[in-house]
Chain A
Amino acid sequence: METLIFALINGLIYGLLLFMLSSGLTLIFSMMGVLNFAHASFYMLGAYFAYTIGSVTGFWVALFLAPLLAGAAGAAVERWGLRRIHANGHVAELLFTFGLAYIIEEVVKIVWGNLAVPYRIPAELNFSAFELFGSQYPAYRIFMLFISIGMLISLWYLLKRTRIGLIIQAALTHPNMVASLGHNVPRIFMLVFAAGCALAGLAGVIGGNYLVTEPTMALAMGPIVFVVVVVGGMGSLEGAFIASLLIGFLQTFAVSIDISFADIFGFAGLAAGSEIGRITIASLAPVLPFLLLVVMLVVRPTGLLGEREF
């Protein structure tokens, strides 16, 4: 029972962090048709910006400034990079973001060094929020939960209840029509790209001290974010949300399951001592999201809630 509850809370927090990262990516993907390989790099930039700004101004100012900076970097990339390359087709854009991810990683290494930086949880939030089954629950995780939910509500409100949200939704599917109506579609693209990068930056700010801030953090997070976009379905924020939570729960639950292959396939004659029989579900936890990706592409190529195939 307690395992279940802890896995639920931890899965929820990890899932919401994933959603914050992938919501921008899925919007950019459906709008421009570009899988932005550098998206997780903005997550990393957010964490490093917050570390540097935070060491001068404290965490709370960094919480606002760092995502804005990451968003500004994203806007610049779109305005002077992607927009020019757009004419050369999707492959050129894909290669551009691929190269960009490596450039950002190297720049981070040059500026902040190869090693992890001591980006820590602010002292105000470094206490335990409550005790559950004899285990303390850190307040910072609850804070992450609130930030994520706040972001979720504002994003939903912006897209579904405001005029700019309606235009963005229209530009997703009918860019030419929106342009004919007098809207500046390239500028909308830039704004969405910047907002997506800012969200990734925000995920970096609150995820960087919860996890570890190091130059490989983008590379470690990147593949998972793609899984979310594919499983959720192209252009579907609701799909990305469900997929994020699904992967969050899947990974945290799997860790607590000690059943081995021999227990499951014992009826087929798999011995407990054999090389395959010894593998437990817990040790498979890191692979499960990618297994989900492969199965999803085979069974339902549109993703959970997407309308187009990849």
Chain B
Amino acid sequence: MTLNLKTGLTRSAVAAVVALGITAGTASAETLKIGFIDPLSGASAQTGDIELKHWKFAADKMNEAGGIGGMDVEFVAFDNKGDPKETLVQYQKAVDQGIHFVAQGVGSSVSAALTGAVLKNNERNPGEETIFFNIGGIDPSLTNDNCNFWHFAFDQNVDVKMEGLTNYIETLPDIKSVYIIAQDYSFGKSFIAAAEKMLAEKRPDIKIVGSELHPVAKVKDFTPYVQKIMSSGAEAVLTGNWGSDMTLLIKAAAAAGQEVPYFTYYGGAIGAPSAMGKSALGLVTQISDFHENADASPEQLAKQDEFEAKYPDTDYYYERTFTVLGMLKNAVEKAGGIHMIEVAKALEGMTYEGPFGTVTMRADDHQLLAPLFVSTFSDDVKRDVEKTGFGFKTDMLVTAESTAAPTTCQMVRPE
């Protein structure tokens, strides 16, 4: 009885999947589908959810302006639960639905799994290739030793950002000792390596009093870590933490009354400003390609306002989603349609006028070079974040050229 029930269930499940595949296949003629593969459940769901809102908003704007090559852009969401193994399953699902573009941005370990899967798929299925837009996995190996032709990095990698951040620390002679804390996986390890290397070059007088790797998205109470940092006597903290690890670290630091500057990559990312509150004013600094108080045109500000009116609980953050769609539009038009190799070749070396200056997709390693901002949490701002009354204020501009670190990528291009 149970056995019959089981096979019956499997059969109907197979039928449902097949039916889904067929409808998806026929629909892709009029729309350009992009598979969104990021967590919509699990510990990093909040980050994934907010990213998806930005993608959908950017797609709506693109469609209002006529779409890409006459096609409407549509995002199809695949929940990978933040897990690299699940990502491969979801990627295969996207491929089976005839989707040729995938976007991902939460977690370098996931990006690494996905870029490998994309390369393998494309070698096995010529003519049916996939292009991968990476808007958040910033482990440097993705654009160095493990680079590939189908992977395009729209966020700046760890080394590029660290170059900017340490340039800023160079201007702060009072800091004599730092503590580095990061998440225990490829990204966190490269964060610590980059910080140690660049601080030694630019500020040999700074003593690194501790460098710590903690489990990713598992620590629920950072108090022991914060107390460890405090007893080390560090005058500043460097952290690459993102998502709940950033929020909870800052929450524990605020609760313990720690008053040293935090230099971060993601201090302005979702959830962190609410956790920081007043106690973090002037102390939390971030480096990013965007923050809400960056000098911008009225059109750009209107766009940000429109997003925040549409999603009242979410702050505008991922300007990158517009960069991806804008560059994809130009590439598809140059290639004269969705011919994957031509589209990828058109993206290589492409320059694009973004709202904050010219950005370039470097052909050598497919790393987007863009102007960056170093900004600090402040109460003297026009636009606040997460309804806190506080926001980020620019301290320093980092030009795109100055972040163009050399790459070891040996790009293999298909004929």
Q: Say what secondary structure dominates the interface of chain B.
A: mixed
What residues on A are CB-neighbors of B123 within 8 Å?
A: none
Q: How far is the CA of A115 from the CA of B46 in the complex (A)?
A: 6
Q: Determine if A55 is an interface residue (Cβ-Cβ < 8 Å).
A: no
Q: Which of B29-48 contact A (CB under 8 A)?
A: 40-43, 45-46
> Which of B40, B210, B221 neighbours the largest number of chain A CB atoms within 10 Å of its CB?
B221
Q: Determine if B12 is an interface residue (Cβ-Cβ < 8 Å).
A: no
Query: Which residue of the partner chain B has the closest CB to A128?
Result: B257
Contact B49 A136, beta carbon cutoff 8 Å: no
Q: Which of A256-292 contact B (CB under 8 A)?
A: 256, 258, 282-283, 285-286
Q: Say what secondary structure dominates the interface of chain A.
A: mixed
Separation in Å of the B216 CB from the closest CB of chain A?
Answer: 11
Query: Which residue of the partner chain A has the closest CB to B224?
Result: A255
Separation in Å of the A226 CB from the closest CB of chain B?
Answer: 17
Q: How far is the CA of A277 from the CA of B411 in the complex (A)?
A: 35
Contact A14 B221, beta carbon cutoff 8 Å: yes
Q: Which of B41, B219, B223 contacts A10 (CB 8 A)?
A: B223
What residues on A are CB-neighbors of B296 within 8 Å?
A: none
What residues on A are CB-neighbors of B49 within 8 Å?
A: 114-115
Q: Determine if A210 is an interface residue (Cβ-Cβ < 8 Å).
A: yes
Contact B230 A134, beta carbon cutoff 8 Å: yes
Contact A212 B248, beta carbon cutoff 8 Å: yes
Separation in Å of the B303 CB from the closest CB of chain A?
Answer: 25
Contact A6 B227, beta carbon cutoff 8 Å: yes
What residues on B are CB-neighbors of A212 within 8 Å?
A: 220, 244, 248
Chain B window 202-219, contacts with chain A (Cβ cutoff 8 Å), 1 for yes, 0 for no: 000000001011110011
Q: Which of B40, B214, B220, B227 contacts A135 (CB 8 A)?
A: B227
Q: Determine if B231 is an interface residue (Cβ-Cβ < 8 Å).
A: yes
Q: How many A-B residue pairs have CB under 8 A?
A: 74
Contact A256 B244, beta carbon cutoff 8 Å: no
Separation in Å of the B48 CB from the closest CB of chain A?
Answer: 9
Q: Determine if B200 is an interface residue (Cβ-Cβ < 8 Å).
A: no
Q: Which of A1-54 contact B (CB under 8 A)?
A: 2-3, 6-7, 10, 14
Contact A258 B210, beta carbon cutoff 8 Å: yes
Please count how many residues in chain B sit with their CB below 8 Å of the partner chain's CB atoms: 31
Given known pairs A135-B230, A135-B256, the reply for A214 and B221 (CB within 8 Å) is no
Separation in Å of the B50 CB from the closest CB of chain A?
Answer: 9
Q: How far is the CA of A255 from the CA of B258 in the complex (A)?
A: 18
Separation in Å of the A1 CB from the closest CB of chain B?
Answer: 9
Q: Determine if A124 is an interface residue (Cβ-Cβ < 8 Å).
A: no
Q: Which of B215, B221, B224, B256 contacts A7 (CB 8 A)?
A: B224
Contact A133 B231, beta carbon cutoff 8 Å: yes
Contact A131 B257, beta carbon cutoff 8 Å: yes
Contact A216 B46, beta carbon cutoff 8 Å: no
Q: Which of B41, B224, B228, B230 contacts A114 (CB 8 A)?
A: B41
> Which of A137, A212, A220 neighbours the largest number of chain B CB atoms within 10 Å of its CB?
A212
Q: Determine if B225 is an interface residue (Cβ-Cβ < 8 Å).
A: yes
Q: How far is the CA of A271 from the CA of B228 in the complex (A)?
A: 26
Q: Determine if A252 is an interface residue (Cβ-Cβ < 8 Å).
A: yes
Contact A256 B41, beta carbon cutoff 8 Å: no
Q: Determine if A79 is an interface residue (Cβ-Cβ < 8 Å).
A: no
Q: Which of A116, A135, A216, A285 contacts B258 (CB 8 A)?
A: A135
Contact B228 A220, beta carbon cutoff 8 Å: no
Q: Determine if B395 is an interface residue (Cβ-Cβ < 8 Å).
A: no
Contact B257 A136, beta carbon cutoff 8 Å: yes
Query: Which residue of the partner chain A has the closest CB to B259?
Result: A134
Separation in Å of the B136 CB from the closest CB of chain A?
Answer: 18
Chain A window 215-226, contacts with chain B (Cβ cutoff 8 Å), 1 for yes, 0 for no: 110001000000
What residues on B are CB-neighbors of A135 within 8 Å?
A: 226-227, 230, 256-258
Query: Which residue of the partner chain B has the closest CB to A11?
Result: B224
Query: Which residue of the partner chain B has the closest CB to A138?
Result: B255
Q: Determine if B184 is an interface residue (Cβ-Cβ < 8 Å).
A: yes
Contact A10 B40, beta carbon cutoff 8 Å: no
Separation in Å of the A204 CB from the closest CB of chain B?
Answer: 13
Q: How far is the CA of A283 from the CA of B40 in the complex (A)?
A: 28
> Using a CB–CB distance below 8 Å, which chain B residues touch chain A?
40-43, 45-46, 49, 184, 210, 212-215, 218-221, 223-228, 230-231, 244, 248, 255-258
Pairs A–B under 8 Å by Cβ, sample size 28: A2-B227, A2-B231, A3-B227, A7-B227, A10-B223, A109-B41, A114-B40, A114-B41, A115-B46, A131-B257, A133-B230, A134-B230, A135-B226, A136-B255, A136-B257, A138-B256, A212-B220, A212-B248, A214-B43, A216-B42, A252-B224, A255-B225, A255-B228, A256-B227, A256-B228, A282-B212, A285-B215, A286-B215
New contact pairs (10) apart from A6-B227, A7-B227, A135-B256, CB-CB < 8 Å: A3-B227, A6-B224, A10-B221, A114-B41, A114-B49, A214-B45, A220-B220, A255-B228, A256-B228, A286-B218
